[in-house]
Structure 1
Amino acid sequence: MREPAEARRRRILAVVQSRGSARVRDLAAELEVSVVTVRRDVEELARRGALRRGHGVVRPVVPVERTARPAAPYGRGDAVAVVVPERHAYLQETLHGARGVLEEAGIRIALHIAPQAAGAERPIVESALAGGARGLLIAPRWRGADEEDADARWLAETGVPTVLMERRPDRGGPLHAVDSVCSDHRYGVHLAVDHLVALGHRRILLAARDDSPTARAVRSAFARIAADRPEIEDWCVVLSAPATAPGRGAARPAPLDLAALLRERRATGALLHGDVDALMLVQQLADAGVRVPRDCSVVAYDDVVAALGSVPLTAVAPPKAEVGRAAAELLLRRLAFEHGTATVPEAVRRIELLPELKVRGSAQAPPAGGPLTDSRSASA
């Protein structure tokens, strides 16, 4: 139901009297009506002598004492830019977490989807800031370390409060003084490996992507953790799919034959990153006659769609929505200082949130007959 004109005009008058001035376009955003509607309301209030009009600005008839401050600490109606990669369901959940916090605070979100091309985020951010965005939440794609290095300096100099989501700045690098919130992926990998080892698996492999900071963190963590676990007799890290490598122009690796690799390594457990690749690889195993979990136990990493497969997959679930919420809360603190409602700036924060393991039955004790073997690997 539309708000009656007189009720809307009373709200306009209350805002102007409490703040000392207000821009017409900000009033329109706060009231969720068109600029034309607000202009008409302002004209009517000015005709009655209730306020004074300026060029795009409205002021009360009696000047407000400068000690009176806006009721809202963040500049309600302000917009912040949120930049996430296209076709990235993981970060879409992070976006939803941030959205709830910002909208509750009266902050308008300007969502920007960055295409997969290298360097795509910079022009998007520059355009958003030129359009008036007061802050930035961003999850750069960073398919490789070179892209991360190229983006670090300009991101550190945006000139507005900025928070990185699911990205961990290098210590001492250009982004060392930028707030960030991410999942503790080392702990997530620990949960997966510990689950498999506790079930009795001693030969484990990781098939993972290699085209994002999360993927690289998972690969690195698995190598360190597996090497440090004395119970693990053999482990390896392979690319989950050719398209998940960041390199361009190089020879593309052959598609992963997971069933053959399991037999070659005599492995009984696998950690698969990310979810979509995990579901496809599990189907590949089924086509090759390898049953999950009877012949091979599987743990997925991401838990976006892992539960939806024909075999619901046990999965490491990073706190995706919580990352977005925490990032948005950090940004609000920065905006409060910018608006003068916080007198002391917040310390720069690097927040890590712990993933959890969702057990669904795709992992069990190794098969009684021992690791998978075939004629090619019997002597391995």
Structure 2
Amino acid sequence: MLTRPRTLQCSIDRDGRTGVGADPVSSPLRQEAILREVRRNGSVNVTRIAAELGVSVMTVRRDIAVLAHHGLVTRVYGGAILPRTKPAPRGSGTTVSGRSRTLVLGMVAPCRSAYYREVIGGVQVAAEGTGSRLMLGVSAYGDERPQVEDMLSAGVDGLLLTPRPDTLRSAEGAAWIRELPVPVVIVERRPEPAAGLDQLERVASDHARGTVQALRHLVELGHRRVGLLASATPTAVWISRGFDISRAIFTLAAGTPCVADHVAYDFAAVDAFIDALVATGTTAVVAHPDEQAALLVQRVRARGLAVPDDLAVIAYDDDLASLAEIPLTAVAPARYAVGRLAATRLVQRLREGSRHVVQESLLLPRLAVRASTSTRFLPGIDLSDPSTAL
């Protein structure tokens, strides 16, 4: 058990635990208790000492990170041990001998088909280029904290996180991210100001501007009545914002069907959406994701309508759009570039330490024009030609 620290700034019992009604143990006292435990036993377990001190495991990890930064302990899986050698300060990327130290980058991302595979691919290339190692965890849009805890226990130097959107809307939801003991870069998310994550780097696609690009293309083709059909995804929120911005910029007609919370593969809902398109005289649609756009085209053609003559369609994501029976014009987020830049920024943050300037980087998607909006893309034309990208 822990012995009582010599200098007390709050009410703690003889084992170092806070008593009922006592103030929480201050950071210096916690760190003193952790260091004493390591020196006495040669190691400390984060779960046990967190229970002893009456604080969260994350708080103890943060304290251990501070001690490791000053070379007083070495972080290991599940806790800390006595330092083997005196390390360089965290973020320097070198040892005391001057040799380069391999940084370990932890990444927790949703499991979402090709989209995040491309982001991860960009991270891998950046990690290899900087001599870093990537450790990957998948959240499947669930609670990311178990994967983050595992990575911290394994000793990652920094984290690339794609949290659930609701986590980034309030200070309460984002509290655990603010308490992380290592530098963090938020990937493909844009935290709300209320989340209090202003000091965290973030790299994301500018989906709102990507949508404006799509609407601009349709307007240039003469369309003024444009609809929106988007499945409920984190991306759909920004597509919807971009759609509203475009309506104002291009003075598009009101009253067209706009759905931003569609349930994927709901055929009845798609048919009802098409009914609304016909009833309102809508001549173009932005659909997200690609599968939704392809399904919409299939159902439209089944009614005897022609694409793009009767209805122009732009897909948002460009995972599979080029493979559709009628190749789909699509907005393509720069997924690979997002991953590469995010990893590069994290390594810069680790190496520069307090000198690093926090940045928010929004990468503009590109528009790949194909047959679903333009009749000039006839069979025989090479649709992969770079000149078709706007």
Q: Same fold (TM over 0.5)?
A: yes
Identity level (%):
35
**Structure 1 runs of 4+ off > 4 angstroms?**
55-59, 66-69
Relative to 1, partners in 2 of residues 1:139 and 1:296: Cα closer, same or farther, differing over 3 Å? same
Query: 2:366 is matched with which residue: 340, 344, 356?
Result: 356
Which protein has greater RCO, CA pairs closer than 8 Å, 6+ apart?
Answer: 1
- Residue 220, structure 1, aligned to residue 241, structure 2: yes
Deviations 1:290-315 (A, max 9, x none): 22212210111111111111111111
- Residue 121, structure 1, aligned to residue 144, structure 2: yes
Q: How does 1:85-124 map to 2 (within 5 A)?
A: 85-117=110-142, 120-124=143-147
Structure 1 partner of 2:211: 189
- How far residue 274 of structure 1 moved from its aligned partner, in angstroms, is 1.3
Structure 1 partner of 2:158: 135
The answer to whether the Cα contact below 8 Å between 1:307 and 1:313 also exists between their aligned partners in 2 is yes
What's the secondary structure of 2:141's corresponding residue?
coil
When the two chains are superposed, the root-mean-square deviation of aligned CA atoms in Å is: 2.7
- How far residue 211 of structure 1 moved from its aligned partner, in angstroms, is 2.7
Relative to 1, partners in 2 of residues 1:305 and 1:151: Cα closer, same or farther, differing over 3 Å? farther
- Measure the CA separation in 1 of the matches of 2:215 and 2:277: 16
Structure 2 partner of 1:16: none
- Measure the CA separation in 1 of the matches of 2:187 and 2:141: 17
Structure 2 partner of 1:256: 270
TM-score under structure 2 normalisation? 0.67
Structure 1 partner of 2:318: 303
Deviations 1:121-163 (A, max 9, x none): 0121112111211110111242xx4674354221122111110
Deviations 1:154-185 (A, max 9, x none): 11221111101111122353211110011122
- Residue 70, structure 1, aligned to residue 98, structure 2: yes
The answer to whether the Cα contact below 8 Å between 2:229 and 2:285 also exists between their aligned partners in 1 is yes
- How far residue 239 of structure 1 moved from its aligned partner, in angstroms, is 3.9
Amino acid at match of 1:221: G
- Measure the CA separation in 1 of the matches of 2:326 and 2:367: 16
- How far residue 199 of structure 1 moved from its aligned partner, in angstroms, is 0.4
How many pairs does the alignment contain?
285
Query: 2:187 is matched with which residue: 165, 171, 184?
Result: 165
Query: 1:267 is matched with which residue: 273, 282, 292?
Result: 282
TM-score under structure 1 normalisation? 0.69
- How far residue 112 of structure 1 moved from its aligned partner, in angstroms, is 0.6
Relative to 1, partners in 2 of residues 1:172 and 1:69: Cα closer, same or farther, differing over 3 Å? farther
Q: How does 1:1-380 map to 2 (within 5 A)?
A: 69-72=97-100, 75-76=101-102, 78-117=103-142, 120-142=143-165, 145=166, 148-149=169-170, 151-171=173-193, 173-212=195-234, 214-232=235-253, 234-239=255-260, 241-243=262-264, 255-257=269-271, 258-338=273-353, 344-364=354-374
- How far residue 209 of structure 1 moved from its aligned partner, in angstroms, is 2.2
- How far residue 89 of structure 1 moved from its aligned partner, in angstroms, is 2.4
Give ranges in structure 2 of 5+ residues lacking alignment: 1-81, 87-93, 376-390
Relative to 1, partners in 2 of residues 1:109 and 1:67: Cα closer, same or farther, differing over 3 Å? closer
